[in-house]
Structure 1
Amino acid sequence: MNIDFHYGVIYIAARIGGMTAADARTVAHACQYVDDATTSGILRFKGGETFERFASAHKLFDYANTENDQNRLVWTPFHFLPAGEGITLEEKAICRPDSEVAREVVRRAIRQRDAQTGLHRLGVTLHTYVDTWAHQGFSGIESSWNRVHFLEAQDCTHKSWLARLESVAGHLFEHVEADLLTIALPVGHGAALHYPDQPWARWHYIDGRNNLVSRHNLPDFVQAAEMACRAVRGYLAGREDFETQPGMPDDVRNAVSRLLDTSRNPDDNQRLLTVREWVKAGRIPGLKEALPGYIGKGRNSWKYQATGLLCDDDTGDRPEWSHAFEKSDYRLFHDAVKQHRFVTTQEILPARGLRIA
């Protein structure tokens, strides 16, 4: 999923679920920031203080990261949560929508609702949770299950592109699609291009086990929004059985479905603008207010507000530590990321026979 869902739709789900506007913005920002927190390592302050950060995503040019150990620490707990189903490690590592593992991750976040990092932890968790619908069938480890053959979509954009290449490459094209893309992008849904993250997409492919997989994203994305709303209600009520809580009212669910289906700009930032316009105009029943834009990097970002640093490469700059840093969204987010990663990789997954880190 992209920023239109992780920030825009999650904000809607949080507000409809009963959160204040301020808390909903924090949760939605943390949800999207999982995709933008690409700086790891020790942040060093002028007075000698230090703070450990863990990147919850790779930089864009590292998407094809070939260091499987790092992939398991980043892609698996945050973007391709294993369902723990099957016999082999490859089978257990496959991401499935709304799996029992995913629900347990949400329950753990609800259990920590009174912690200082509670809202940020919920945002990180919701990113992982809703991605189980978009990233189903793929895994965050190098696996033959991530192979994609004969990818086609209803809009025919990719199909036409394939046809043009086939006219040039002839019978060699199957190897270009099935082997080169998968070798270049061995983790996650890289070989499936952008289709898993487009809310309206209808597409199909042959997976690494020669099974035909047909996907229609819209009902999956609407269900993800519905369950995110239930998770918020569970969080607010302190109910770990969040799946039993009320979801979005029918008119809200229908509006969200229309929004996701009709906003088809390939630029996800433009789609976020549409989400914000709908919220401001009251096109989501029961919700009519301004949703501020999202700032993930640079001036006025969470990192800048906490440290004054403008760029990711901060090895040469040392900010002043203060008690304000301890209360900052930046510190709370990174601690929430570390909490989420530990609980997921060291407790939940091993309990289901899956040791990946």
Structure 2
Amino acid sequence: MNIDFHYGVVYIAARVGGMTAGEALTVAHACQYVDDATTCGILRFKGGETFERFATAHKLFDYVNTENDQNRLVWAPFHFLPAGEGETLEEKAVCRPDSKVAREVVRRAIRQRDSETGLHRLGVALHTYVDTWAHQGFAGIESPWNRVHLLEAQDCTRKGWLASLRLATEHLMDRIEEDVLTVALPVGHGAALHYPDQPWARWHYIDGRNNFISRHNLPDFVQAADMACRAVRAYLAGREDFEGEAGLPEDVKDTLTVLLDTNRNIDDNQRLQTLCERVKAGRIPGLKESIPAYIAKGRGSWKCDATGLECDDDTGDRPVWTSAFEKSDYRLFHDAVKEHRFVTTQEILPAHGLRIA
């Protein structure tokens, strides 16, 4: 999924689920920031203080590199959550929508609702959770399950297909065979281009086991939004059995379905803008307000607000540590990430028969 869902739709689900605008903004920002937190390692301050960060995404095309150990620490726990189903490691590593593992990840986040990282932790967990619908059938490790052959999409013009290809591969040639992409991008859904992340897409392909896979994203995305709303309600109520909570009201669900189906700009940032305009105009039942702009990096970003660093490169000036850093969204997000990663890879997945870190 892209920013239109992770930030825009999750914000809507959080507000409809009963959160204040401030709470919903924190959850939605953390949810999207999982895709943008690409800087890892130690942040060093002028006074000698240090803070450890862990990247939750790779920079564009880093996933081409075959450092499978690193891929397992990024793609599997944050983007392609293993369902733990099957006999072999490759089978267990495949992501499945709304799996038992995925629900447990959300439950564990709800359990931490009273901690200082509670909202950020929920946002990270929701990113992982809703991605199980979009990324189903693929794995966050090198696996034959990620092979894609005879990829085709319905309702997709040649111009749109080429635009999607450019967004997904940027510096590769416009026309390239799926078999080449399958070899070049062995982790996740790289060989399937952007189709898994487009809310309206109808597409099909032959997977690595020669199975015909047919996908229609729209009902899956709506279900993901509905379950995210249930998770928010449960978080506020302090109940871990979130699947039993009420989801999106039917009028909101119907409106969101139409919006996700018709908002088809290839540029996900433009889709987010359209979604925000609808919310501001009161087109989502019961919700009429401005959604603050999302800033991933540079001035106005969580990192810059916490450290004063406008550049993503930490090799320059070192920031001054202050007590304000401890209260910052940037610090809380990264600590939430570390909590999520540990619980997922060291507790939940091993309990389902899968050890990948």
The two structures have a TM-score, normalised by structure 2, of 0.95
Asked if 1:118 corresponds to 2:107, the answer is no
Distance 1:327 1:115 in 2: 13
Distance 1:4 1:265 in 2: 11
Aligned equivalent of 1:177:
177
Distance 2:151 2:139 in 1: 18
Q: 1:182: Cα distance to partner? A: 1.1
Q: Deviations over 1:103-157 (max 9, x none)?
A: 0000000000000000000000000000000000000000000000000000244
Distance 2:310 2:160 in 1: 42
Matched ranges for 1:217-296 at <5 A: 217-296=217-296
- Which SS does the other structure have where 1:356 is aligned? coil
Give, as a single letter, the amino acid of the residue that structure 2 aligns with 1:325.
F
Distance 1:43 1:344 in 2: 24
Q: 1:310: Cα distance to partner? A: 1.0
Give, as a single letter, the amino acid of the residue that structure 2 aligns with 1:339.
E
Distance 2:160 2:223 in 1: 31
Distance 1:197 1:275 in 2: 16
- Which SS does the other structure have where 2:215 is aligned? strand
Asked if 1:25 corresponds to 2:29, the answer is no
Aligned equivalent of 1:73:
73
Aligned equivalent of 2:47:
47
Give the unaligned 5+ runs of structure 2: 163-175
Q: 1:247: Cα distance to partner? A: 0.4
Percent identical among aligned pairs is 83
Residues 160 and 266, structure 2, Cα contact 8 Å, conserved in 1: no
| Cα gap change, 1:161 to 1:325, in 2 (>3 Å) | closer
Q: 1:65: Cα distance to partner? A: 2.7
Aligned equivalent of 2:96:
96
Q: 1:161: Cα distance to partner? A: 7.1
Query: What is the aligned-residue RMSD (CA, Å)?
Result: 1.3
Q: Deviations over 1:68-113 (max 9, x none)?
A: 0000000000000000000000000000000000000000000000
Give, as a single letter, the amino acid of the residue that structure 1 aligns with 2:59.
K
Q: 1:178: Cα distance to partner? A: 4.6
Aligned equivalent of 2:172:
none
The two structures have a TM-score, normalised by structure 1, of 0.95
Residues 82 and 139, structure 2, Cα contact 8 Å, conserved in 1: yes
Give, as a single letter, the amino acid of the residue that structure 2 aligns with 1:70.
Q
Distance 1:69 1:331 in 2: 25
Distance 1:316 1:183 in 2: 37
Residues 80 and 139, structure 2, Cα contact 8 Å, conserved in 1: yes
Give, as a single letter, the amino acid of the residue that structure 1 aligns with 2:127.
H
Aligned equivalent of 1:37:
37
Distance 1:161 1:315 in 2: 39
Aligned equivalent of 1:165:
none
| Cα gap change, 1:15 to 1:160, in 2 (>3 Å) | closer
Deviates more, 1:20-29 or 1:55-64: 55-64
Distance 2:161 2:217 in 1: 21
Aligned equivalent of 2:187:
187
Aligned equivalent of 1:63:
63
Residues 151 and 159, structure 1, Cα contact 8 Å, conserved in 2: no
Q: 1:311: Cα distance to partner? A: 1.3
Distance 2:279 2:158 in 1: 32
Residues 201 and 216, structure 1, Cα contact 8 Å, conserved in 2: yes
- Which SS does the other structure have where 1:331 is aligned? helix
Q: 1:61: Cα distance to partner? A: 2.7
| Cα gap change, 1:67 to 1:248, in 2 (>3 Å) | same
Give, as a single letter, the amino acid of the residue that structure 2 aligns with 1:142.
E
Give, as a single letter, the amino acid of the residue that structure 2 aligns with 1:106.
V
| Cα gap change, 1:262 to 1:350, in 2 (>3 Å) | same
Aligned equivalent of 1:170:
none
